[in-house]
Structure 1
Amino acid sequence: MKLYHCQGARSLRCVWALEEMRLDYELVTLQFPPRVFDKSYKEINPLGTVPCLIDGDVTMTESAGICEYLAVKYGPTPLAVTPDEQDYALYLNWLHRSDATLTFPQTLVFRYSALEPEERRQPQVVEDYRAWFLGRWRSVEAGLEGRNYLCADRFTMADICVAYALYFANTLRISEAMTPNVEKWWGRLTAREAYQRAIAL
């Protein structure tokens, strides 16, 4: 397996998942954004985004999808919640919420506060999508009430995928995301050896 990655990008979810599962893989770290700094990368992933996972004849480019794929393809693993478990639907909902609902508004905050040239930055877009993210992030604080992890009474791929949104919020200095339940959960997650290895890579 080969994973294309940029430091701090959504591909961190996949590096963390691979480290948790102790799978053999080659990590290719690119400068962000890769479509700008490595034009040949679009021959591998026409979207020009990271992550990109190559596994034999399989190519995947969606971080939460890659985490789900790894858990099913290379399981069984406690990182996956199976259809016969009570929290299966909750697990899938968190996996998909992690990117479609939580990370999406952050990308607009990032783009219009940091990536665009000064003359193209849009403070109103930044403010609006920051508020959008925080409104949806409240579901994480609520979801952790009375729980150590998001579902199934254990650490799963859902925690990895949702935690990246908090990692990104910290990068963007959205400090309001660190609410009481979230802070305790974050402490448990970042103490994991696989997380620490992924960050070091």
Structure 2
Amino acid sequence: MNARPILYTCARSRGLRATWAAEEAGVDIDLKILPFPPRYLAPEYLELNPLGTVPMLVDGPEDGGARMTESCAIAHYLASKGGPSELVIAPGEPDYAAYCDFTYHADATITFPQTVYMRFALFEKERGLEEAGHAYAKWFWKRLVKLEQRLEDREFLCADRFTVADICCGFALILAESVGLDEGVPDSLKAYRSRLTGREAYRRAVAREDAGLKALQAGG
């Protein structure tokens, strides 16, 4: 059995949700930073994850332990691994439904148009699909209305405290800033993002991923 959960990811990818959750929860993980995109630059990774996607969490024995590939699910798993946690809203608590909804909303509604924008407008624009990519940028901006309204009178999304829902939705806002999608992000959500990225656990997560990337680039 692995002594620690192993997280395979690329620095600043969706896997940051999992690295961040581990730091917030105090869960000791073995962080494995891969080159991007791993399906081409680390083909041996396909033996572990045939999808070739990141992140991937392996926890426990290979023949019966956890093997997870969804970043929001991994964040929830790591936050609740040690038992009840302030990072997770439990059944019966106020805002349990909202917690579930916003945690799933993060990828299903917000991050999805971002990934299509990135593919068409950044990674494959030579194919002549840049215009389509920018159409998805507008889709992303329109889909922020739910977050914007929810946070009109709240510091965090659920139960008046920071939770995994904030990690999952907050990452989409962090990604927006790094890939050129900040133009359409409301000021109120930029302020929310600043509150999140000011957290010590977030800074530790970023620093740890960056250190792993530097070691990878140095051949370490």
Q: TM-score range by the shorter chain?
A: over 0.9
What letter matches 1:191 in structure 2? Answer: G
Tell me, in whole angstroms, the C-alpha distance in 1 between the residues paired with 2:11 and 2:80.
Answer: 26
Deviation at 1:164, TM superposition (A): 0.7
Contact 2:7 2:29 in 1 (8 A): yes
- Aligned match of 1:104 in 85, 89, 112? 112
TM-score by length of 1: 0.95
Distance (Å, rounded) in 1 between the aligned partners of 2:121 and 2:75: 29
Q: Deviations over 1:95-132 (max 9, x none)?
A: 0000011001100111112222x531412211211011
Per-residue CA deviations over 1:12-44 (Å, capped at 9, x if unaligned) read: 000000011111110000111110101110111
Q: Which runs of 4+ in 1 moved over 6 A?
A: none
| Structure 1: runs of 5+ lacking an equivalent | none
Q: Kindly provide the CA deviation profile for residues 139-179 of structure 1, in whole angstroms up to 9, marking residues without a partner as x.
A: 11111010000111000000000011011111121123442
Size of the alignment, in residue pairs?
200
List runs of 5+ in structure 2 lacking aligned partners. 209-220
Whose RCO is larger (CA < 8 A, sep 6+)?
A: 2
Shift of 1:69: 1.6
Per the TM alignment, residue 63 of structure 1 is displaced from its structure 2 partner at its CA by 0.3
Q: Where in structure 2 are the equivalents of 1:128-147 lying within 5 Å?
A: 128-147=135-154
Contact 1:2 1:28 in 2 (8 A): yes
Deviates more, 1:187-196 or 1:152-161: 187-196
Match of 2:192 in 1: 185
More off after superposition, 169-178 vs 126-135: 169-178
Identity over aligned pairs, percent: 46
Aligned residue runs from structure 1 range 4-83, under 5 A: 4-56=8-60, 57-83=65-91
Question: In structure 2, what is the Cα distance between the partners aligned to 1:179 and 1:127?
Answer: 18
Distance 1:172 1:16, change over 3 A: same
Letter in 2 for 1:104: F
Return the letter of the residue paired with 2:99.
Y
The code of the aligned residue for 1:44 comes to L
| Pairing partner for 2:97 from 89, 106, 109 | 89
Is residue 159 of structure 1 aligned with residue 144 of structure 2? no
Change (3 A) 1:7 1:121: farther
What is the CA distance between 1:75 and its match in structure 2? 2.6
Secondary structure of the residue aligned to 1:28 is strand
SS of the equivalent of 1:53 reads strand
Distance 1:121 1:150 in 2: 39
Q: How many Å apart are 1:135 and its aligned residue? A: 0.7
Q: Is the 8 A contact 2:110 2:143 kept in 1?
A: yes
